[in-house]
Structure 1
Amino acid sequence: MGRGNIKSHEDLEVLQLAFDAAMKIYEYSKRFPVEERYSLTDQIRRSSRSVCANLAEEWRKRRYQAAFIAKLNDSEAEAAETQIWVKFAVKCNYLDIQVGREIYANYNQILGGLVKMINNSSIWILK
């Protein structure tokens, strides 16, 4: 994973994956029970969207390696949190187990991309 022809945060593959996963969560979470509106539904949507928002922020903080890595760590934490909410949704029978596995796997891929960016942060920093 390198900079290549990446001109904005929108070009980051990890952001594209995170955005698609967040939209998938949004669509499935529409079916969650109304009593979960202010708990599970809100939390899973918030954390999945936060991965994307933090990636946009980290892109703008590439002048400072520590700030860049801190934002990537925030994205990583939100992705892991989303996985926990997915597990709750499956255990509460709000998500089909196969759908839950698919979304969980999407977030494993996102986490892998974030870790690669963290481990190779120097190539992303603006000189």
Structure 2
Amino acid sequence: MEKEGNYIKRAKDLEVYRRAYAVSLDVHRATLVFPKIEQYALADQMRRSSKAICANLAEGFAKQTHSRPEFARFISMALGSCSEMETWISYAFDLGYVAQAQRDEWLRSYVHIYGMLVNLRERLK
């Protein structure tokens, strides 16, 4: 994996990490205004799942020097968190906590991130 002629040195250098991080910040901020009853349920789950994508990329990337299959395993976990976010977003919309425009934006972002993760995992084979 290269970046502008240089090797990528950290997970933060990966485009998929940067995209996932940006949308996780948006999710975090948006869920802070969910009803109090949801702060330790749906809102918390959305914050944790969105951040887990970045956390798994970071941990897996750090281990890739020892094992590319191990990095692929962490990417698979990030894929799971990405899919999980699609479910939580649907709940948030159906419960009336986010508008359709927000739901659609987040879903587009996670579909794109999912595709990037699949491509990254395939490049490790």
Scaled to the shorter chain, the TM-score interval is over 0.9
- Answering whether residue 120 of structure 2 is matched by residue 112 of structure 1, we say no
Q: Give the letter aligned to residue 3 of structure 1.
A: E
CA distance in 2, matches of 1:18, 1:3: 19
Q: Which has the higher contact order (CA 8 A, sep 6+)?
A: 1
1:88 counterpart residue number: 91
Q: Assess if the C-alpha contact under 8 Å between 2:69 and 2:124 holds in 1.
A: no
1:9 to partner: Cα distance:
1.0
2:34 counterpart residue number: 32
* TM-score (structure 2 length as normaliser): 0.92
CA distance in 1, matches of 2:111, 2:63: 24
| 1:1-127 matched pairs, under 5 angstroms | 2-4=1-3, 5=6, 6-62=8-64, 63-122=66-125
* TM-score (structure 1 length as normaliser): 0.91
1:117 to partner: Cα distance:
0.7
SS at match of 1:38: coil
1:64 to partner: Cα distance:
0.8
Q: Give the letter aligned to residue 60 of structure 1.
A: A
CA distance in 1, matches of 2:10, 2:71: 14
